[in-house]
Chains A and B, each alone.
Chain A
Amino acid sequence: MTMEPKSFQLFPESASNFAPTVDGLYTYMVVVSAFFSLLVAFLIIFFAIKYRARPGQGVPKPVDEHSIGGMILEIAWSVIPLGLSLVMFAWGASIMFSESRPPKDAINIYVTGKRWMWKIQHMEGAREINELHVPVGRNVRLTMTSEDVIHDFFVPAFRTKADVLPGRYTTEWFRPTQVGTYHIFCAEYCGTKHSGMIGWVHVLSAEDYDKWLAQGSGEGSMAEGGESLFNQLGCANCHVKGGHGRAPNLYGAFGTKVDLSDGTSVRFDESYTRESILYPQAKIVAGYDKIMPTFKGLISDEGMLKLIEYIKSLGDPNGVVPGRNLPSEPSDIQKTGPMAAPMSETKAPATVSKTSAATGKQQ
């Protein structure tokens, strides 16, 4: 299944849904650039020959810029390139937007960068290092974080990459279109073995993928791992199903909008979960006390991902879990994590809010 890399080629393999569009845009840019480069080269060479100095020739008459339409020229050679390049902008932006919005049905895979390896966790429990197995034709979403410095998960054959940051989550998605094996590179400089932080994506046929998953580790799924952590760490002491007095209900919480005690609200996402666990006092859920202890130093980045997956698994945000309201519009919501804080304006309190959901609790 591995394609033998040719030693001379101009395009990397084309193995994801993004590859054709990116190559298309690239081709457009090459054509525009070639046109202008050749035009400029032609002009200066042509003028250099045509108007080369001859002995005894006097000073050339200054060109009257008005008479040859100087202004029109200036406008032409500003506006035409601008127009052509705005196409590049729009095209590039639309690619970027589609690269940024993982489809809802995507398989979730978690990636942790660590100097100098890629640790990958599948929801079903399989774990691998520097290898990533994915099925062809299915949407795959990577949720990524780093244990130390910034890395970058780059698959040239998929034409996509994203930085992987410590203390934060970033997302990348793609739909492999071609069975085969492709390079993973770390594309953000991360120290000594940056160039050794490479690996392979194996795009498998659906059957092969299922087979591969089946022989996965016996550890159980990530959510199960998260659940045992949840019990081990004592989270379950406070966070009980349905929620009672002390701590908010985590069932069906993920993906909802959470009202905070200072009147703002945030989206319950990966970063918010992480922050709630490591810095519980940074954002206090409206109606609760600051009693949750910090678990900083007690949970590894991979453990954190398991907890997140567990909390995600506690309920479908689209399902009917009472007391949780879905954000009406994405932009309506705050985000969390390092550098993700409430915006300065006060948000109008949501009509159905967690505060009202918490009415059942005894004070």
Chain B
Amino acid sequence: MASQVVPHEEVVTLKHHFANDEQQLDASTIGMWVFLVTEIMFFGGLFLAYFAYRQAYPAAFASASNKTNLWLGAANTTVLICSSLTMAMAVHSASLGKRTLLVLFLILTLILGGVFLGVKAYEYHDKWVHHEVPGAHFDCEGCDDAGHAPLFFSLYFGMTGLHATHMLVGFVILSIIIVQASRGKFTAKWYTPVEMFGLYWHFVDIVWIFLFPLLYLIDRSHTGLK
């Protein structure tokens, strides 16, 4: 810890209540990670419900899961991983102070995220037309144990919906950051928002890394890679 309060002229980004840059950056990093821990627990509730019902009604989960589109799911996972890479590259560029590259990678991230959401929207639409949304019109055609299938779809929409909401929030923040980056707000010395946003984006990616096998890949052995 710093031993003294030293005014630091060149760095305008230092808030008044911090002693120095290091303390400020540390605070942001710790804060962000703590926030991500709350996010883990937030999704945790849904994961518990998922595991509980999956073990109770394996037949319903297997056949309902087979209603999802494996190809779209896998492709979307790939898209999201790509966006994670571009995000990592954006942070990398920021740390080297390469503004153009930073903006470029951020925009790429945005586009990839958009593709992901687009695909997701298509899938939702598909579920809607096939009456696979829980509610009065629900109908899990050809499902085993259709009586319990609504639980799967409730979880499907709950989990992917929450995930998509996180993406949407990310979109807004990312757009702001892109504007700021193109205006040259970030330097190799200070680009904390980019870095923090990166952590958030990767977290959202990780959630999907779990959602994909849990929702799309149950008991595919009977249907194959269809």
Mark A residues whose CB is within 8 Å of B: 262, 278-279, 281-284, 290, 294, 296, 338-344
What is the CA–CA distance of A278 and B145 in the complex, to the nearest angstrom? 10
Q: Count of chain B residues with Cβ under 8 Å from any Cβ of A?
A: 13
B52 close to chain A: CB less than 8 A: yes
**Known: A290-B144, A294-B147, A296-B147. Is A281-B52 also a contact (CB below 8 A)?**
no
Given A262-B59, A282-B145: 6 more A-B contacts, CB < 8 Å: A278-B147, A279-B147, A282-B59, A339-B56, A340-B56, A341-B56
Q: B residues within 8 Å of A by Cβ? A: 52-53, 55-60, 144-148
Minimum CB–CB distance for A284 against chain B, Å:
8
- A284–B144 Cα distance when bound, in Å, is 10
The reply to whether B147 and A282 form a contact with Cβ atoms under 8 Å apart is yes
Q: Inside 8 A of A340's CB, which chain B residues have their CB?
A: 56
Whether A281 and B59, one on each chain, are in contact in the complex, defined by CB atoms closer than 8 angstroms, is: yes
Chain A nearest CB: distance from B162 CB in Å? 23
Can you pick out 10 interface pairs between chain A and chain B where the beta carbons lie within 8 Å of each other? A281-B59, A281-B144, A281-B147, A282-B57, A282-B59, A282-B145, A282-B148, A284-B59, A340-B56, A341-B55
Q: Closest CB of chain A to B10's CB: distance in Å?
A: 47
A117 vs chain B, min Cβ distance (A):
28
Find A338's partner among B56, B144, B145, B146 (CB 8 Å cutoff): B56
How close is B144's CB to chain A, nearest CB, in angstroms? Answer: 5
Residue ID in chain B nearest A264 by CB atoms:
B58
A354 vs chain B, min Cβ distance (A) = 18
Using CB atoms, name the residue of chain A closest to B53: A339
The interface residues of chain B lying within 8 Å CB-to-CB of A296 are 147
Question: Smallest distance from the beta carbon of A166 to chain B beta carbons, Å?
Answer: 15
* In contact, A281 and B145 (Cβ under 8 angstroms): yes
- Complex CA gap A207/B55 in Å reads 49
Residues in B whose Cβ lies below 8 Å from that of A284: 59
B55 touches A282 (CB 8 A): no
Residues of B with C-beta under 8 A to A341: 55-58
- Assess whether A262 is in contact with B146, with CB atoms less than 8 Å apart: no
Residues on B with C-beta less than 8 A from A338 are: 56
Nearest-CB distance from B205 to chain A (Å)? 28
CA distance A294 to B52 in the complex (A): 23
Closest B residue to A294 by beta carbon equals B147
* A282 touching B60, Cβ below 8 Å: yes
Alpha-carbon separation in the docked complex, A344 to B52 (Å): 11
**How far is A282 from B57 in the complex, measured between Cα atoms in Å?**
6
Report the minimal beta-carbon distance from B55 to chain A, rounded to whole angstroms.
5
